[in-house]
Amino acid sequence: MSLQIQANVSLKPFNTFGVDVSARWFAEAHTDAHIREALAYAKERDVKLLVIGGGSNLLLTRDVEALVLRMASRGIRIIHEDCSTAVIEAEAGEPWHPFVQEMLARGLSGLENLSLIPGTVGAAPMQNIGAYGVELKDVFDSLIALDRQTGQTQVFSLADCAFGYRDSVFKHQTGRWLILRVRFRLSYAAELHLDYGPVRQRLLEQGIKEPTPIHVSRAICAIRSEKLPDPAVLGNAGSFFKNPLVPAELAARIREAHPGVVAFPQADGQVKLAAGWLIEQAGWKGLRDGDAGVHDLQSLVLVNYGGASGGDLLNLAKRIQADVRERFGVSLEMEPNLY
């Protein structure tokens, strides 16, 4: 079946903030052929192509005068397997959390700390998603991407992706690479990561002394559900700001004035500060301005109470940035992509 392109489609169902803007054209790609059709359509009409996944890392501030292509390809397959590890390939349109649960059900570990992160498999490498001491790069094998300039596909190794903190080569070459499939190297022998955040404590409270990857996943799902609002109930994109990396001297000055600052020394001598702590100390937690607000349980999360526009949310974010910069001398970087 050829690509089905619709005109003037509301994107409210396709972004987790629930912002109601319109796409001039909209289509869903279920196959590589659909993607190539979309590229040809955009080129012939000289219009931009905006590729989205689950819309969980996106803030739409205006109507989109482009062809919006939602990645909807599905499929999971084993590329290589032995007694201890397996390389699993997943299509870009696979929803992330169900994919994690499928791997755990197959007895494969490595993804459990990344449970309940919204979005799709194809979007995960874009910002090197991470949670509770694990990043995507830790379980990454390779990926296949389409070069939108040449129409050729290319395999990216771990080194090729240049993964950093919520960063990758794909964020710096916006509009060039379209991720088709991602491969993960997972293990049948669990190496659990329990020392970041309250994971170990939660397991002990549950009386679990010898946890399995499934136990870890369930604990993290519970913790995230308590701290983060469900986008299906309250529009949000998860953590809105990155935890800033600052020079040790600045971190020391902040600690002197605020002994309770949450800070994590890094191997390169910098210090990672908890953005949520900075925002909460500045008094923004739970603040609401119209239908745009800061979540009352997690100050890293901006929320849409129903009628906020992307502009409303962006203005709130900029006010928070300016206040934190003035109070602490720290610049906060937004995580979602802006359009």
The residues annotated with a catalytic role in the active site are: 166, 239, 335
If you search the block for the tokens 């909209």, which residue do you land on? 26
CB-neighbour burial class of residue 111 (10 A; exposed 0-12, middle 13-18, buried 19+): buried
- Integer Cα distance of 337 and 339 in angstroms: 7
CB-neighbour burial class of residue 18 (10 A; exposed 0-12, middle 13-18, buried 19+): buried
Nearest to 67 by CA among 159, 146, 5, 20: 5
- Integer Cα distance of 333 and 242 in angstroms: 6
Q: What is the DSSP letter of 241?
A: B
Nearest to 261 by CA among 240, 278, 245: 278
Structure tokens at 190: 């669990």
Half-sphere exposure of 324 (CA within 13 A, CB side): 27
Q: What is the DSSP letter of 312?
A: H
